[in-house]
Structure 1
Amino acid sequence: MIVEHAYVNVASYEQDEWPWSVPCVRGLLDGGLRFTAPVTFLVGENGSGKSTLVEALAEGFGLDSWGGSHDWRYASHRPKSVLGERIRFDAAPRGRRMLGSWSARKGFFLRAETALDALDREGFAPHSVSHGEGFLAAFRGKFLQPGLYVMDEPEAALSFASCLELLGHIDQLVRNGGQVICATHSPLLTALPGADIVEVGEHGMRRVAWGELALVDHWRRYLADPQTYLRHVLD
């Protein structure tokens, strides 16, 4: 493990102002988020705050909020978010060494919107391949060293088979000493054995088993009988 607990260090805040109005952010204020496994998936509906959360966690670790690796300041002049600059970590010994020295820090923040541009700037030339292959280039070439790897919906550009390949990369990464925090809508990714799943929403944050996830239930029912859903949205 690299980090074991994330929390917010803030003396006062306005409950009705963003980001403090987001329920999962208030969870960071109340007790923080503990990491109990090398892979943590954050799952929730659009607008639940999971992307806000993973971006702030990446920033708190010193990764660029716009995406990229520990050794590339892709948007170095972009200020940290209000939440990102207030994130603090309780870290494992290896994590404390990384947080204490910029040269020792290892990791990558992969966000769907800027991943290909960030990879291009780091010499991967992903525009010469498909969108999905560009994503996989990051996993094959940048997700190697022990460190903290934060991802925001990496499945967005990936096929079913590519998502399975991604799971293999994640598994190998954590075997090599890495830690992964991933926001996702994917029932395929969240099925990774041993992963911790945190569901975010109006309730804040809570740990759930894979089979208890609302997204898993919806996909099961949709694949069993699509018409039960489609009749509500199609004329």
Structure 2
Amino acid sequence: MIIERAYAHIASHDENAWPWSVPCVRGLMDDGMRFTKPVTFVVGENGSGKSTLVEALAEGFGLDSWGGSHDWRYASPRAKSVLGERIRFDAATRGRRMLSSWSARKGFFLRAETAMDALDREGLAPNSVSHGEGFLAAFRGKFLEPGLYVLDEPEAALSFGSCLELLGHFDQLAKQGAQVICATHSPLLTALPGADIIEVGDHGMRRVAWQDLALVDHWRRYLADPHAYLRHILG
């Protein structure tokens, strides 16, 4: 574990303005976000704020919001988001040196929209491979040592088999003392044994068991009877 809690305290702000109006962001400000396991999945519908949340966590740790490793930040001209610049952490034992020393900080932020650009920039996007294989190149080449690894919907480019390989990387990272925070829509990824799952939505944030996730219930019912869903969509 690297961090045990993330929080953001702001003296004054407009609660009706974005991002402060997003329920999970309000929860971060009111109670903070606690991490109890080496791997944490953040799940929720589009617009629930999960990507806003994980991007701010990455920025707060010093990772480029465009995606990439901590080392790349020195060459990045992009400013942090209004939330990212206010994120603070309570460190776990392993993370105290990382948070107190810039040179000791290790990590990587992978976001679906900009992943290939970030990988190419760091020499990790080989030619003549698929988008998904490029993603896996990052996992094999950069997800190697204790640090904070933040991912935003990595399953977007991955097949079923590649998602299983990614789970194997997550498991190995956890065993080596790293920490993973991953925003996802994938019932496959969230099934990782021992992972913590935080569901975000109008309620804010809450911990949910895998079998109780709304996305798991929907996928289970859809695969059992696609027509029950499609009849409402296709007329």
If the TM-score is normalised by the length of the shorter chain, which range does it land in? over 0.9
Provide the residue aligned with 1:38 in structure 2: 38
Large movers: runs of 4+ above 3 Å: none
Provide the residue aligned with 1:207 in structure 2: 207
| 2:205 partner letter | M
In the aligned structure 1, how far is the partner of 2:146 from the partner of 2:136?
18
Contact 1:39–1:181, Cα closer than 8 Å, also in 2 = yes
Report the secondary structure of 1:51's partner residue.
helix
Say whether residues 1:84 and 2:84 are aligned partners.
yes
In the aligned structure 1, how far is the partner of 2:70 from the partner of 2:173?
16
Provide the residue aligned with 1:11 in structure 2: 11
Contact 1:66–1:75, Cα closer than 8 Å, also in 2 = no
Structure 2 vs 1, CA of residues 135 and 38 (structure 1 numbering), >3 Å: closer, same or farther?
A: same
Say whether residues 1:165 and 2:165 are aligned partners.
yes
Gapped regions of structure 1 (runs ≥ 5): none
- Give the drift of 1:93: 2.2
- Give the drift of 1:127: 4.3
In the aligned structure 2, how far is the partner of 1:176 from the partner of 1:167?
14
| 1:90 partner letter | D
TM-score, length basis structure 1? 0.98
Superposition CA RMSD, Å: 1.0
Contact 2:125–2:137, Cα closer than 8 Å, also in 1 = no
Structure 2 vs 1, CA of residues 11 and 163 (structure 1 numbering), >3 Å: closer, same or farther?
A: same
Contact 1:44–1:200, Cα closer than 8 Å, also in 2 = yes
| 1:197 partner letter | I
Provide the residue aligned with 1:25 in structure 2: 25
Contact 1:66–1:74, Cα closer than 8 Å, also in 2 = no
Say whether residues 1:134 and 2:134 are aligned partners.
yes
In the aligned structure 1, how far is the partner of 2:75 from the partner of 2:232?
43
In the aligned structure 1, how far is the partner of 2:31 from the partner of 2:79?
26
Identical counterparts, % of pairs? 84
Pairing 1:1-235 to 2, within 5 Å after superposition:
1-73=1-73, 76-235=76-235
Q: Deviations over 1:164-201 (max 9, x none)?
A: 00000110111111100000000000000000000000
| 1:148 partner letter | L
| 1:26 partner letter | R
- Give the drift of 1:125: 3.0
| 2:114 partner letter | T
Report the secondary structure of 1:48's partner residue.
coil
Contact 2:62–2:73, Cα closer than 8 Å, also in 1 = no
Contact 1:42–1:184, Cα closer than 8 Å, also in 2 = yes
Gapped regions of structure 2 (runs ≥ 5): none
Q: Deviations over 1:120-148 (max 9, x none)?
A: 11112334310000000000110001000
Contact 1:68–1:118, Cα closer than 8 Å, also in 2 = yes
TM-score, length basis structure 2? 0.98
Aligned length: 235
| 1:55 partner letter | E
In the aligned structure 2, how far is the partner of 1:75 from the partner of 1:62?
12
Q: Deviations over 1:2-34 (max 9, x none)?
A: 000000021111110011000000001110000
In the aligned structure 2, how far is the partner of 1:8 from the partner of 1:124?
33
Contact 1:6–1:28, Cα closer than 8 Å, also in 2 = yes
Report the secondary structure of 1:149's partner residue.
strand
